[in-house]
Amino acid sequence: MFSGIVADTGKIAQVQDRDGGLRLSVLTDRLGMGDVNLGDSIAVNGVCLTVVAIDEKYFTVDVSRETLNCTVGLTTSGAHVNLEKALRLADRLGGHLVSGHVDGVGEVLAFADLGESWKLTVDAPPALAKYIAIKGSITINGVSLTVNDVADTIFNVNLIPHTLTATTLHELRAGTKVNLEIDLIARYVERMLTLSPCETMQTQAKK
């Protein structure tokens, strides 16, 4: 699990074809590799990936073809990416609970300077729109953000200067594709509401 609070912005230093997927070497200055072990999870642009090799400032991950088919931002050498190590039980939860499993790809419609902040407008896939609510949480390229308003499939978030400095979101432009992960709570609430009372009892009995 992650929190959506980006620890560093790294760079994809190398991309290699591997068994239909890709192997990525990612350069990081501030993430800190001292407590990272092989098999640990790191979120790269919101995608939970498993570390297969480590160096002082580099880590390497394998990305399956299935993951590449449902995400963006992981295929280009030189691309900047948001990075976050998996949470420990003692860590502060500064954002919201994030699984690192991208639910869909959205498209930036506008990115406007409001003076004290920036307004980011994103068009989400129709299948995800029902999970997006005003004042609810959403993850964009691994960054935990609060939804300001939503209409049909289009929603807005506001970005403060610190967020723009600490993440790669300042690179977004109209037409840019972004990884979206909806709030876990919204998905579980829908599941509970769609089960009949009998199915709910059966589900609980199996636990």
Domains of the chain: 8-85 (2.40.30.20), 104-191 (2.40.30.20)
Half-sphere exposure of 151 (CA within 13 A, CB side): 2
Backbone angles phi, psi at 40, to 5 degrees: -70, 160
pTM, whole model, 2 decimals?
A: 0.91
With tokens 């980006």, the residue in question is: 6
State the DSSP H helix or E strand holding residue 12, giving kind and residue range, or none if neither. Answer: strand 8-18
Reported as a single tens digit per residue, the pLDDT across 3-50 is: 999 999 999 999 999 989 999 999 999 999 999 999 999 999 999 999
Reported as a single tens digit per residue, the pLDDT across 51-85 is: 999 998 999 999 999 999 999 999 999 999 999 99
